[in-house]
Amino acid sequence: MSRLFSSTSLLVAVAALSIAAGPALALDRTVTVTNNSSTPMIEFYASNQGTSEWEEDILGVDILDVGQAVDVTVDDGSGYCKFDFKATFSDGASAIKEGVNVCEISDFSFTD
């Protein structure tokens, strides 16, 4: 009898965890990144805050001119919400913003 009770309790606990984790995994991680600097952005990176290396350049061959914006879905499949952003500009300068919570924001801009 206690074995049945333990199994039932375990199933209820797993179901509760699944329900609680479900919304976190389904959060919208789309961020509109705007270049409000005075120089065209030539590279943009977003890497999970728990990693030590930058992921691939999201812009690829594209350039984000001054005042332009691009919608980026920042989701590496981990369910994690905090990412570090890095932009590189045509004049060789770069900017880094650490700990951006992509589950809580929808707009982000780089400025001078």
What residue ranges define each of the domains in the chain, with the CATH number in brackets? 28-111 (2.60.40.2890)
> Strands, E, within the chain: which ranges?
30-36, 41-48, 69-73, 82-89, 94-101, 107-111
Name the region of 74 (left: φ>0; alpha: ψ -120 to 50; beta: rest).
Answer: beta
Residue 109, token pair as written in the block: 């801009």
What pLDDT, on a 0 to 100 scale, did the predictor assign at position 50? 81
Three-class DSSP category at 100: strand
pLDDT tens, 37-67? 999 999 999 999 988 899 999 999 999 999 9
pLDDT tens, 18-44? 444 444 446 889 999 999 999 999 999
Tokens 């699944």 appear where? 18
Q: How confident is the model at residue 2 (pLDDT cuts 50, 70, 90)?
A: very low
What pLDDT, on a 0 to 100 scale, did the predictor assign at position 26? 60
What pLDDT, on a 0 to 100 scale, did the predictor assign at position 81? 95
